[in-house]
């Protein structure tokens, strides 16, 4: 027996401004604290129906096949892969960051025939590049990252989806860092298999992965004559629980269902138009503040996410030391880059409930202090951000 005294855990006071998780609205936390009911309770199915409708609104789709996977965003990614990719499936991957590499690895584990079009981390693919790549390779599945969390870059889906559909391919789109903070517009672009996560712009703790399938993807799923290698992530089985039959599949995390329903209700109440405008304004303000402090942005202006920012560190500034000061002195969490961006950028999220004027001012003031501590003369970040906020 251990002699350790296991007292009640009180988490440290943190301002979550990293790439996720983001801050959780008190109403969502309160919803999670409600008494647990059974996953086969009629009241639970009422909640699923609400989530189905509210998710379609946020995804920008009329897809009937819209549900959540019990697991974080990576579970959504793996669900997309194992249900539509098997040994020998030709998959074209648009590779320009860490999460496209993760998608590639999941396809590799399925023994897929993988072809990658690669770009440096932080760059995106042009319409012509997308069309030429897909037309040349003629794959069965195309995969891309809409909002690349490792770089802060936004990929336009339109040309990718058009070229894929021209050759009869299905399109997998990763919207983990865009859903709820930027327009995804599933139907407009024609993305067939889309997944996200609850812990970013939806403002809900990590634990669920929202997902939606187009009519074409549903038809391919129904026609599938091979067993999904994952029983737990088999969409045919999961949909029997979410669909009309309400057939038991696994014990869903009911309190997370409460949380997601409340998070989506708050988005509906704010309206998507207002939510997107808030994220865009705060993005512009934060970028102005970074630039005033001498921190240029890694991603070109027209391709930047509103939700995840990658300012370049000034020469001579130590990434780990700066982030340690932000966390230990000011309670602010931001993360650094990794892969080819390790030690070169910060990754700063303004997502969901974390996207506030207060957080922008606090971060820029703390950054100025941290940069001064490392001998970098910087000033005016807060004033530059406030000027953008005032102008609206």
Q: Look at residue 72 in the predicted model and tell me its pLDDT.
A: 97
- Specify the residue for token string 């708050």: 266
Residues of the chain with CATH 3.40.640.10: 26-268
Cα 283-287-288 angle, rounded to 5 deg = 120
Provide CB contacts within 8 A for 357, sequence distance 6+: 282, 285, 389
Q: Which of 366, 259, 53, 301 is nearest to 310 (CA)?
A: 301
Q: Which CATH architecture has domain 271-391?
A: Alpha-Beta Complex (3.90)
pTM, two decimals, is: 0.97
CA distance 165 to 331: 47
CATH class of the domain at 26-268: alpha beta
Start-to-end C-alpha separation, the chain: 60
Q: Look at residue 3 in the predicted model and tell me its pLDDT.
A: 81
Q: Look at residue 28 in the predicted model and tell me its pLDDT.
A: 98
pLDDT tens, the chain, 392 aa long: 678 888 999 999 999 999 999 999 999 999 999 999 999 999 999 999 999 999 999 999 999 999 999 999 999 999 999 999 999 999 999 999 999 999 999 999 999 999 999 999 999 999 999 999 999 999 999 999 999 999 999 999 999 999 999 999 999 999 999 999 999 999 999 999 999 999 999 999 999 999 999 999 999 999 999 999 999 999 999 999 999 999 999 999 999 999 999 999 999 999 999 999 999 999 999 999 999 999 999 999 999 999 999 999 999 999 999 999 999 999 999 999 999 999 999 999 999 999 999 999 999 999 999 999 999 988 999 999 999 999 99
Residues of the chain with CATH 3.90.1150.10: 271-391
Q: How far is CA 115 from CA 74, 133, 147, 173, 371, in A?
A: 21, 9, 21, 16, 43
Question: Do residues 286 and 350 make contact, with C-beta atoms less than 8 angstroms apart?
Answer: yes
Question: Do residues 344 and 337 make contact, with C-beta atoms less than 8 angstroms apart?
Answer: yes
Beta bridge partners of 90: 113
Provide CB contacts within 8 A for 260, sequence distance 6+: 51, 68, 198, 202, 204, 208, 210
- Specify the residue for token string 């599938």: 224
Cβ burial of 229 (10 Å; 0-12, 13-18, 19+) is middle
Rg (CA), the chain: 21
Beta bridge partners of 182: 179
């Amino acid at each position: 027996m251990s002699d350790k005294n296991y007292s009640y855990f009180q988490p440290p006071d943190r301002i979550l401004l990293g790439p996720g998780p983001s801050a959780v609205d008190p109403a969502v936390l309160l919803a999670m604290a409600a008494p647990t009911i059974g996953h086969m309770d009629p009241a639970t199915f009422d909640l699923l129906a609400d989530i189905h409708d509210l998710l379609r609104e946020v995804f920008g789709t009329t897809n009937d096949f819209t549900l959540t996977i019990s697991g974080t965003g990576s579970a959504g990614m793996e669900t997309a892969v194992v249900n539509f990719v098997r040994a020998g499936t030709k998959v074209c991957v648009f590779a320009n960051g860490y999460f496209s590499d993760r998608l590639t690895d999941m396809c590799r584990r399925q023994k897929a025939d993988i072809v990658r079009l690669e770009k440096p981390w932080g760059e995106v693919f042009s319409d012509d590049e997308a069309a030429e790549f897909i037309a040349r390779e003629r794959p069965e599945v195309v995969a891309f990252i809409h909002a690349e969390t490792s770089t802060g870059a936004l990929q336009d889906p339109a040309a990718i989806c058009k070229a894929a559909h021209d050759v009869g391919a299905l399109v997998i789109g990763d919207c983990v860092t865009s859903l709820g903070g930027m327009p995804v517009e599933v139907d407009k672009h024609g993305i067939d298999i889309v997944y996200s996560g609850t812990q970013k712009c939806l403002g809900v703790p990590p634990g669920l992965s929202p997902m939606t399938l187009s009519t074409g993807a549903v038809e391919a799923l129904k026609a599938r004559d091979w067993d999904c290698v994952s029983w737990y992530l088999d969409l045919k089985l999961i949909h029997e629980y979410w669909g009309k039959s309400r057939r038991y599949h696994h014990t869903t995390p009911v309190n997370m269902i409460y949380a997601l329903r409340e998070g989506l209700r708050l988005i509906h109440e704010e309206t998507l138009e207002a939510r997107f405008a808030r994220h865009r304004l705060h993005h512009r303000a934060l970028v102005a503040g970074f630039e005033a402090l001498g921190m240029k942005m890694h991603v070109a202006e027209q391709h930047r996410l509103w939700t995840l920012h990658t300012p370049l560190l000034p020469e001579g500034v130590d990434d780990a030391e700066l982030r340690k000061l932000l966390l230990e002195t000011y309670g602010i969490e931001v993360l650094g880059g990794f892969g080819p961006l390790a030690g070169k950028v910060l990754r700063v999220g303004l997502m969901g409930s974390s996207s506030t004027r207060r957080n922008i001012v606090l971060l820029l003031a703390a950054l100025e202090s941290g940069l001064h501590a490392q001998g970098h003369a910087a000033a005016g970040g807060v004033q530059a951000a406030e000027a953008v906020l005032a102008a609206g």
